[in-house]
Structure 1
Amino acid sequence: MTPLVDTAASDDPAEGLRAVVALRKLADRLEAIQVENARRLGWSWQEIADVLGVSRQAMHKKHGPGR
């Protein structure tokens, strides 16, 4: 296992919860990178939202211009 996975599976709630925070931050950063990549390649907000399983409005609000 990786250190983050080991920490996430820890019996110590403080360690496990810190791992949850780290994973959320990583997932948010990866999402931002891939949304930017998709937009650069001409994907619509709807196409991105469909792949991520969210509404177009939520995707545009989270990643739209000025964000």
Structure 2
Amino acid sequence: MSADLEQAVHGSDPAAALRAVARLRRLVEQLEAEHVAAARRAGWSWQDIAARLGVTKQTVHRKHHRAQED
């Protein structure tokens, strides 16, 4: 985590902390999409991916299947 992001997350300014949380959320979503796509290209099933993410197969499929169709 970058120093400015870490400072914002742990600082006393709620606005800065919430912006940092939003940045982290976007980063996590991007990383998840990239790694789900990589797992699918490697032949992983939706069930295998869901198990690693701690969600249901339906949840991960609903969230990521359209990206796989492109």
Q: TM-score, structure 1 length as denominator?
A: 0.93
Count of residues in Structure 1 that have an aligned counterpart in Structure 2: 67
- Runs of 4 or more, structure 1, over 2 Å off, are none
Ranges in structure 2 where 5+ consecutive residues have no aligned partner = none
- RMSD over equivalenced CA pairs, Å: 1.5
Q: TM-score, structure 2 length as denominator?
A: 0.89
Query: Residues 14-42 of structure 1: CA distance to partner in whole angstroms, max 9, x if unpaired?
Result: 00000000000000000000000000000
Ranges in structure 1 where 5+ consecutive residues have no aligned partner = none
Higher helix share: 2
| Matched-pair identity in % | 48
